[in-house]
């Protein structure tokens, strides 16, 4: 349950994949509080079984190859420990604490501060008086009869949530918080062990089987990652009213010309991706546009009919499913404003890069002539981010004076929260 030493021996590839997929799916259900809907094979999730350990350590190795994967996996794996501790019985807890001590005694833990503290805490809780007390049915959620001092830097999550008292560099953890302490130490243990795991990540990139498994894990996470919107091919024409002007403009150019220049297409694709458009919808969306004849003033001469494989690869690459498997992010306002617009570039920040006629035409979609005149007169010498923020407040009737737009994605998020 605490996963200190990986299992030994051999396992067939298809069984290893089942261990990973089942665990990944279970963690997602648990994280979304839908654990009762999980109908997978619990054989691969039995606590302390070989399958359970394989699923954990393979996912741990894969997650260590990417910051995005690690940030996705650690909270879910930590939540699994919390869930198990909430349902643990005395015999299982005794076995868990004894197992942690045995595993730590087989490795050099004396120079490792986190490992040393974990061992000491296990010994503390295994004391007959303490163990019977925390396992008692009468043990309350606010009991403070027993307490344990632990260095504050080992439990940053509890410190951040102000759930412990601090004195002389130590956190005072009461017996009623024993579960929270173990979960917090487990989280710290995983993070501190990351450096050691990273020394083995070359196995993932150089082993065809592990590399393939990593890609499938990435795809699963991508498909299940929470998004801020619900954009797809059918509702995008409605959703654009929530887009910032820079992305509204790219959408309209695409609909008119059925093509975009390289950077315009890149930025708009990333914006749609992070705004909630799934990869299948993205492929269909760009296919519909690039299958149509381009206009005479379009700078892009590509056609879906002849460049389909190239287009699909490019889209999958932006979604982290090809090439370096990097999770590309939508550009912020700084990038949009500093991008030097060439003669064929349709994008950029309207409040920074557009001339007055283009800007007025764009503003007229959502503002009246009087509103535009007052808006431009007031905002003429302001920074683009301030102008965009003011525009947002006019269009969406937002009265939050503290907000400042810093990216197209943030703009869409705020607009989406108002609907």
Closest CA to 328 of 280, 370, 380, 272: 272
The length of the chain is 419
Residue 63, pLDDT score: 86
How far apart CA 377 and CA 363 sit, in angstroms, is: 14
Residue 136, pLDDT score: 92
**Residue 40 CB partners (closer than 8 Å, separation 6+):** 22, 25, 26
Question: What mean pLDDT do residues 309-331 have?
Answer: 81
For helices 262-274 and 304-318, what crossing angle results, to 10°? Answer: 50
**Residue 131 CB partners (closer than 8 Å, separation 6+):** 90, 93, 94, 125
Res. 299: pLDDT tops 60: no
Res. 398: pLDDT tops 70: no
**CB count in 10 Å sphere of residue 334:** 13
Res. 231: pLDDT tops 90: no
pLDDT in tens, 251-283: 999 998 888 888 889 999 999 998 888 888 899
Residue 124, pLDDT score: 94
Query: Percent of the chain, pLDDT > 90?
Result: 31
Res. 394: pLDDT tops 70: yes
CA angle, residues 136, 137, 141, in degrees to nearest 5: 90
The torsion angles phi and psi of 149, rounded to 5 degrees, stand at: -95, 130
Question: Residue 165 is inside which H or E element, if any?
Answer: strand 165-167
Question: What mean pLDDT do residues 115-124 have?
Answer: 91
Q: Residue 80's pLDDT band (boundaries 50, 70, 90)?
A: very high
How far apart CA 321 and CA 216 sit, in angstroms, is: 9
Torsion of CA 344, 347, 351, 356, to 10 degrees: 40
Res. 129: pLDDT tops 80: yes
Res. 298: pLDDT tops 70: no
**Residue 371 CB partners (closer than 8 Å, separation 6+):** 394
Q: Are 55 and 22 spatial neighbours (Cβ–Cβ below 8 Å)? A: yes
Q: Residue 346's pLDDT band (boundaries 50, 70, 90)?
A: confident
Higher pLDDT, 389 or 298: 389
C-alpha of 99 from chain center: 32
Quote the tokens at residue 284.
């269909």
Query: Percent of the chain, pLDDT > 70?
Result: 91
For residue 295, give the DSSP letter: P
Residue 301, pLDDT score: 64
Q: Residue 248's pLDDT band (boundaries 50, 70, 90)?
A: very high
Q: Residue 341's pLDDT band (boundaries 50, 70, 90)?
A: low
Domain boundaries, the chain: 13-137+175-224, 235-418
Segments in 193-244 forming alpha helices (H):
194-198, 202-206, 208-224, 236-239
Residue 222, pLDDT score: 64
Question: What mean pLDDT do residues 317-339 have?
Answer: 80
Question: What mean pLDDT do residues 193-199 have?
Answer: 77
Question: Residue 147 is inside which H or E element, if any?
Answer: strand 147-151
Query: Residue 408: helix, strand or coil by DSSP?
Result: helix
Q: Residue 90's pLDDT band (boundaries 50, 70, 90)?
A: very high
List, in sequence order, every residue forming a beta bridge with 170; answer none if it has no partner.
151, 167
Q: Which residue, chain included where needed, has tokens 């009623």?
A: 176
Quote the tokens at residue 264.
């315009």
| Confidence (pTM) | 0.60
Quote the tokens at residue 4.
């200190």
Q: Which of 90-94, 205-209, 251-255 has the lowest mean pLDDT?
A: 205-209
Looking at every residue in the chain, the average pLDDT score rounds to: 85
Quote the tokens at residue 286.
């760009």
Question: What mean pLDDT do residues 328-345 have?
Answer: 79
Residue 207, pLDDT score: 77
How far apart CA 31 and CA 76 sit, in angstroms, is: 6
Q: Residue 66's pLDDT band (boundaries 50, 70, 90)?
A: confident
Segments in 243-396 forming alpha helices (H):
245-257, 262-274, 279-290, 304-318, 333-338, 350-353, 356-363, 369-379, 384-396
Higher pLDDT, 112 or 118: 118
Res. 108: pLDDT tops 80: no
Q: Residue 325's pLDDT band (boundaries 50, 70, 90)?
A: low
CA dist 282 → 17, 147, 319, 359 (Å): 28, 55, 10, 28
Residue 109, pLDDT score: 55
How far apart CA 125 and CA 321 sit, in angstroms, is: 46
Question: What mean pLDDT do residues 163-191 have?
Answer: 91
Residue 30, pLDDT score: 92
The torsion angles phi and psi of 329, rounded to 5 degrees, stand at: -105, 150
pLDDT in tens, 6-37: 888 888 989 999 999 999 999 999 988 888 88
């Amino acid at each position: 349950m605490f996963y200190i030493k990986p299992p030994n021996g051999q396992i067939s590839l298809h069984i290893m994949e089942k261990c990973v997929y089942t665990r990944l799916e279970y963690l997602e259900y648990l994280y979304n509080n839908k654990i009762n809907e999980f109908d997978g094979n619990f054989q691969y999730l039995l606590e302390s079984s070989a399958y359970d350990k394989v699923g954990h350590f393979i996912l741990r190795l894969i997650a260590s190859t990417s910051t995005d994967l690690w940030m996705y996996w650690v909270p879910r794996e930590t939540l699994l420990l919390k869930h198990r501790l909430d349902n643990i019985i005395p015999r299982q807890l005794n076995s868990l604490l004894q197992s942690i001590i045995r595993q730590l005694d087989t490795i050099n833990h004396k120079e490792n501060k986190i490992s040393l503290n974990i061992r000491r805490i296990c010994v503390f809780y295994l004391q007959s008086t303490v163990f019977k007390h925390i396992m008692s049915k009468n043990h309350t959620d606010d009991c403070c009869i027993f307490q344990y001092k632990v260095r504050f830097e080992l439990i940053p999550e509890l410190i951040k949530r102000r759930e412990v008292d601090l004195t002389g560099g130590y956190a005072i953890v009461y017996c009623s918080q024993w579960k929270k302490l173990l979960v917090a130490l487990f989280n710290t243990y995983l993070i501190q062990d990351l450096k050691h795991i990273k020394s083995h990540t070359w196995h993932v990139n150089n082993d065809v089987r592990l590399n393939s498994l990593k890609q499938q894990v990435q795809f699963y996470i991508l498909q299940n990652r929470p998004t801020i919107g619900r954009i797809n091919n059918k509702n995008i024409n409605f959703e654009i009213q929530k887009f910032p002007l820079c992305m509204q403009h790219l959408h309209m150019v695409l609909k008119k010309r059925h093509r975009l220049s390289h950077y315009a297409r890149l930025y708009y694709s990333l914006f749609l991706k992070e705004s909630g458009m799934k990869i299948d919808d993205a492929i269909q969306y760009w296919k519909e546009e690039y299958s149509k004849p381009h206009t005479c003033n379009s700078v892009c001469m590509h056609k879906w009919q002849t460049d389909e494989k190239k287009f699909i690869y490019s889209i999958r690459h932006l979604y982290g499913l090809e090439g370096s498997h990097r999770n590309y992010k939508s550009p912020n306002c700084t990038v949009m404003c500093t991008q030097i617009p060439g003669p064929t570039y349709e994008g950029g920040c309207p409040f920074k890069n557009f001339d007055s006629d283009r800007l007025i035409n764009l503003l007229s979609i959502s503002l009246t002539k009087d509103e535009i005149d007052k808006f431009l007169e007031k905002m003429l010498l302001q920074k683009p981010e301030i102008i965009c923020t003011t525009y947002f407040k006019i269009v969406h009737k937002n009265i939050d004076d503290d907000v400042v737009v810093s990216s197209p994605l943030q703009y869409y998020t705020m607009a989406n929260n108002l609907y």
